[in-house]
Structure 1
């Protein structure tokens, strides 16, 4: 060992410095990857619509299985359904005359504007004359 003239203390400090540099590098890479994940998450989150559904609203349900049996004039929307309960985390309980109650994700439904026979009902509902 004396022939190699190795300074053990200096060698140990050098190895510790290299390990510390590796830890700093790993932390920096972790921060960069978390920032990248946040940026990439923003794009799909932009497409999520926030709806405030109320019990008693009539809604249409999106039928994603229409693609399996395509037809020229087949609609993707079924309904109207009546909201009987609004559950936490965006879930909604629907009811129809033909179908019993069932739970659906709130992202699959849209508010259905019922056709009215009297035009005054529509004007009153939307307050078109008030500015």
Structure 2
């Protein structure tokens, strides 16, 4: 397949449709549709397929805070109306379009206006994401570690079935070097290998006991003989 694409000069790019799990917007949309279905389906939850069309209509015509308008407005250039209102406006549009020959100019103006709405929605989405990112970063606790400190490493790839009560924190590891942007070089005390990790996966290890460098001599006190004073 690679040779065939190269022969005809085709640049094959893998979009998010190949991996819908990596598309954050699709995940958010599916979650909202799921919440709508949870409110309208019956207790046995077997009629969700018949309610899916209504749930999609409600989602597409609802106002979205990130973009400032509804998805229906992005596609058609105006808000969604009831069938009676739509039919009335359709008759009015047919009557107006049959009056003169300026239909093409009006269509161009409508296309330009729709494009302006889409650009405005894109800008609102960008500003909304920046605002949410700033709020999220304010609640993140900065974790700073120094060299020679012992830390625990969070293992996110630990399977759940074998050892369900097993802790996901491994270690301790020793911090060899700290770099900017929260990057740390770790090394296990029993291994010479050094690897890099993100600081958000670390926490300070408090289990090491203090080792005393001085030797303490212990003397046992024996009972003094009778008749002698201490």
Under TM normalisation by the shorter chain, which class is it?
A: 0.5 to 0.7
Asked whether 1:94 is paired with 2:94, we answer no
Aligned pair partner of 1:75 in 167, 172, 182:
167
Distance 2:171 2:162 in 1: 18
Change in Cα spacing, 1:24 to 1:42, as seen in structure 2 (3 Å) is same
Matched, 1:103 2:199: no
Residues 5 and 38 (structure 1), Cα distance of their counterparts in 2 relative to 1, 3 Å cut: closer
The change in CA–CA distance for 1:68 and 1:101 in structure 2 (over 3 A counts) is: farther
1:2-40 deviation per Cα after TM superposition (whole angstroms, max 9, x unaligned): xx9855xx5554344323312221122212332444466
**SS of residue in 2 equivalent to 1:51:** coil
Secondary structure in 1 aligned to 2:167? coil
Q: 2:116 matched to which residue of 1?
A: 24
Instruction: Report which of the two has the higher share of strand.
Output: 1
The unaligned stretches of length 5 or more in structure 1 are 119-131
Query: Structure 2: which 5+ residue stretches go unaligned?
Result: 1-97, 213-230
- For CA contacts below 8 A with separation 6 or more, give which structure has more relative contact order: 1
Distance 1:18 1:69, change over 3 A: same
Q: TM-score, normalised by structure 2?
A: 0.39
1:110 Cα shift?
A: 0.5
State the alpha-carbon separation in 1 of the partners of residues 176 and 154 from structure 2. Answer: 18
**Does the CA-based 8 Å contact 1:48-1:107 persist in structure 2?**
no
The aligned residue for residue 112 of structure 1 is: 205
Give the number of the structure whose alpha-carbon radius of gyration is greater. 2
Q: Which residue of 2 aligns with 1:61?
A: 153
Matched positions, count? 112
| Offset of residue 49 of structure 1 | 3.5
Tell me the CA shift for residue 59 of structure 1. Answer: 0.8
